[in-house]
Structure 1
Amino acid sequence: MQSNRLNVSKPIAPSRRGVRLKPGYSQLDWNNLVQTKGSRGELITGVNELLVDSEFQRINGHQQMRLIENGVPLFRIRNPSININKKILQRHQISKEDFWGVYKGKVYSLSRYLEYHPGGIEIILNNCKKNVDMTAIFNKYHPWVNMERLLETCYVGIYID
């Protein structure tokens, strides 16, 4: 007689190694942070530097600059969105305290999220620096995750070449 029980001790597919998150850095904690600080635009790093960046001023219009100067969170600036080119992006990939990445052609400030990533900080830092757009590598390992929803209050703008 054959048993219908699953053998749960054997993994179906090879597992990926995660990292142990510090207390207070679960997905629920991230959601709470998004609803509090994120809604006020406090999860985006490097905003003040943009106001004095001549390259940023060159590729963005007066309307966007005025909105930033008035304290409108970057994720709320649409039509037109903020433009970010490779030169500006690279300035925000030097340290984890002010780190941006590109997903589906959109730039996100990842600094505040890094500690919440179950796969660890280094994998994000390394992949964003290696690939301008991290969409392919992200979707390879997280096809079920809605990145745009997860990081909606970390949205900086559109990546342009």
Structure 2
Amino acid sequence: MKINKEEREILEILEKDARLTASDIGKMIGESEQLVQAMIKRLEEERILVHYTTLIDWSKVEDDERVTAMIDVKVTPKRGVGFHETAERIYRFKEVSSVYLMSGAYDLSVTVEGKSMNEVARFVSEKLSTLDEVVSTTTHFQLKKYKHDGKIFEEKQIDNRIVVSP
């Protein structure tokens, strides 16, 4: 779908801060609140604007034991549908938070969240690897998140100590 300059601006603004109101966005791009609301509605209906999200640093929340794994999946594509049908089967699992078709040695990149490494391992061995189209998997566990969706999780600390030299 072709979008106009104002719609592109709206998308870029919302990508940076989805909490802004139509009134605020209208002031930023020089359009009325009603026109901005209409453009946002159109972008939502066309599924260009898919979802509004919040980015949370769960590592700072006590007693939150989430484990995230990125799994490279080698797949045998099905005749007539390619990778689409397999990707759809995979993204329907509740443990899966994202699926991407990739270039390179593996076909799909699957992000999985669980309560423990064991839970993720069970998902891979009991659900993912049992699919007929899945040839192989490689699982990478996320140890620390530095940056996600363009946002840095920990700003560099400035060392304010006085340098002492002999």
Query: TM-score normalized by structure 1?
Result: 0.24
- Structure having the higher helix fraction is 1
Q: Which structure: larger Rg? A: 2
From the two aligned structures, give the one with the greater strand fraction.
Answer: 2
- Which has the bigger relative contact order, CA under 8 A and spacing at least 6? 1
TM-score, L = length of structure 2: 0.24
